[in-house]
Each structure stands twice: as C-alpha cells, then as structure tokens.
C-alpha cells in the first residue's frame, strides 16, 4: 500500500500547486490514500467548505487541520457534514467534528487517520498521548485498521519525536505539521513506524512560513503589528511525505520526502507500483 501525506497548504499559491500537481503525483506513485493538511489554506488562516471540496476534487481523501481550524467560522458548521475533514483530536468533548476516522483506501484497505495537536508552545488542550492511546486501543493495526497515520500538529520537535517513539510499531506513519519547514529526518523507527518531524508546507518559500516577508520582519524588529499577515504569492512548492506500507503488518517498508515545484530541491518517491 502507498500512502501520501501533503503538508500544510498556505494561501492561494499553496492551493494552486496542490490542484496542479496532486492529481499527477497521486497517479505516478500509485497512492492508495492521500491525506492533506488544509488548516492554512484560506488566506493563511483556516479553511472554507469550498476550499475543502477543492482539495477533495484534486485527489485528497482526508483533510487534517490544526490550531487554525476555526479561524474561518463556517468550519464550525460544515465540519459536521464533511466526514472527510478532521479537527485536532484533543479538543474538549462537545467540540464540533471529530479528531480521528477510518477511511477506505483505493486498494480496499481501512486506514485510521488520527489528528492530535501538541501542547508545548501551543494551546493547552487535553493530553495528545492519552488521546492517541485511546484511539489505538479502540482500533489497532490488524484489529480494525490495515494502516494507521498520525498527523501530529505540534510546535516542538521533541514532542513530535516523543509521539513517534510512543507509538512505534503500532502505527504506519507519524508525520508532524505546523512548523511549515520540511525536515531531513524521514526514517523508519526501530519498530517499523515511518516518521518525519515536519512534512513542510505547500506554499511560497520566498517568505516567512508562507507569509509575505515584510510584516513578520517588521514585528521582529519593532514588536509592533502594522498590518495583518498576508500569504506570499510567488511560485509554491508542494511538500509532503510518501510511505510504502506492508499489506500484512501495516508497518512501513519505505519512506520518502516529497517536494515538487517552487524553490526547493525536487524529490519524488521512487516506489515501484504495486
């Protein structure tokens, strides 16, 4: 089984590279399931129902989010009817939407996708580790799920690495989102779980985390806000990670970063079709 995860989509340039490149990428790598983090896709802050549908039409199967999930207030409503969009798992009980779900892959496999959010330098939500443990107890590898992917939306690499080791051997992939910079630590952990601290963003890298450079620099220098952040509008790079999963065990056999277009050095997985 081949899984593709696409990192945080930032603004219009990020959406443009996704709609342009994702259909062909999915075909080239014979991806059975595509997961995409869309929490920065609406002007850099949140996601709308129309944009969510745009990603699904482009070939995404599941949309994950993070701390900006509610920045577009309509998300509080449409998430209840959009079964393929997740919000962070560890929001309090009663929050609209859900933080995990089982999704049918193209090869017929059942894939559990879990979307916890970290607490270090982030909003103090419920414990992501205990939340993930609860999901795995309810639906483990070979016990309801043929593969399991965790999008850990977190700031600190230490917290992300801890999550990877916490679930090693029990999930197919742990991939970090939120920091928008692709990391070079893609690996398969000792127990067979694929891991990458951050998938990076789909956005213009001639920027500060996908935003036009001037306002962030101004705020760093003066500690004063002069205007709102606006997404950079240059050519974007599609960033993500691809994983090959053993159909019998649900554990990873190969992992590769993905980078297409824009300013970063291009990388595509060379997994053989199967």
Asked whether residue 265 is assigned to any structural domain, the reply reads no
**Catalytic (active-site) positions:** 68
Tokens 């899984």 locate to 3
Specify if 216 maps to a domain. Answer: no
pLDDT at 272: 61
155-186: burial string, b at 16+ Cβ within 10 Å, e else: bbeebbbbbbebbbebbbbbbbbbbbebbeeb
- Cross-strand pairs, 209: none
The answer to whether residue 11 sits within a structural domain is yes
> Would 31 be classed as within a structural domain?
yes
Identify the pLDDT of residue 112: 98
Among the listed residues 126, 60, 52, 36, the one whose alpha carbon sits nearest the alpha carbon of residue 89 = 126
> Tokens representing 223?
């500690």
For residue 81, what are the contacts with CB-CB under 8 A and spacing of at least 6? Answer: none
The whole-angstrom separation of Cα 85 and Cα 77 is 12
Nearest partner of 5 among 31, 35, 28, judged by Cα: 35
Number of domains in the chain: 1
pLDDT of the residue at 274? 44
Tell me if 10 is assigned to some domain: yes
Query: Would 52 be classed as within a structural domain?
Result: yes
Q: What is the DSSP string of 137-180?
A: HHSEETBEESEEEEEEE-S-HHHHHHHHHHSTTT-SEEEEESS-
Among residues 243, 80, 107, the alpha carbon closest in space to that of 172 is found at: 243
Domain that residue 108 falls in: 2-203+235-260
| CATH assignment at residue 135 | 3.60.21.10
Query: In the numeric block, which tokens belong to residue 257?
Result: 């970063």
Best CA proximity match to 123, nearest among 175, 178, 201: 178
- Please classify residue 43 by burial: count the beta carbons closer than 10 Å to its beta carbon, then call 0-12 exposed, 13-18 middle and 19+ buried: middle
Give residue 182's Cα distance to chain centre: 12
Distance between CA atoms of 101 and 83, rounded to whole angstroms?
8
- Least Cα distance to 116 among 153, 148, 146 occurs for 153
By the 8 A CB rule, do 42 and 51 touch?
yes
In a domain, 24, yes or no: yes
pLDDT tens across the length of the chain (274 residues): 999 999 999 999 999 999 999 999 999 999 999 999 999 999 999 999 999 999 999 999 999 999 999 999 999 999 999 999 999 999 999 999 999 999 999 999 999 999 999 999 999 999 999 999 999 999 999 999 999 999 999 999 999 999 999 999 999 999 999 999 999 999 999 999 999 999 999 999 999 999 999 999 999 999 999 999 999 999 999 999 999 999 999 999 999 999 999 999 999 998 864 4
pLDDT of residue 270: 86
Domain assignment present for residue 96? The answer is yes
Question: What is the reported pTM?
Answer: 0.96
User: What is the CB neighbour count within 10 angstroms for residue 237?
Assistant: 25
At residue 13, φ and ψ (nearest 5 deg) are: -65, -35
């Amino acid at each position: 089984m081949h899984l593709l995860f696409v990192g945080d989509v930032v603004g219009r340039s990020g959406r443009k590279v996704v709609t342009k490149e994702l259909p062909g990428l999915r075909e080239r790598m014979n991806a059975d399931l595509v997961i995409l983090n869309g929490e920065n896709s609406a002007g850099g802050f949140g996601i709308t129902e129309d944009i969510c549908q745009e990603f699904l039409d482009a070939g995404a199967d599941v949309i994950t989010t993070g701390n900006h999930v509610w920045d577009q207030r309509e998300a509080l409503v449409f998430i209840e009817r959009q079964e393929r969009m997740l919000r962070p798992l560890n929001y309090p009980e009663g929050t609209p939407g859900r933080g995990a779900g089982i999704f049918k892959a193209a090869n017929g496999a059942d894939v559990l996708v879990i979307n916890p959010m970290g607490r270090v330098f982030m909003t103090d939500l419920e414990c992501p580790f205990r939340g993930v443990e609860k999901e795995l107890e309810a639906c483990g590898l070979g016990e309801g799920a043929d593969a399991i992917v965790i999008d850990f939306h977190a700031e600190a690499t230490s917290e992300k690495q801890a999550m990877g080791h916490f679930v090693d051997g029990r999930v197919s992939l742990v991939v970090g989102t939120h920091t928008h910079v692709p990391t070079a630590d893609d690996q398969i952990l000792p127990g067979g779980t694929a891991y990458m601290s951050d998938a990076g963003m789909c956005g213009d890298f001639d920027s500060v985390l996908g935003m036009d450079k001037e306002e962030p620099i101004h705020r760093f220098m003066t500690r004063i806000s002069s205007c709102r952040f606006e997404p950079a509008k240059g050519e974007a790079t599609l960033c993500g990670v691809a994983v090959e999963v053993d159909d019998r065990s649900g554990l990873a056999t190969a992992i590769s970063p993905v980078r297409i277009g824009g300013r970063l050095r291009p990388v595509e997985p060379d997994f053989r079709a199967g």
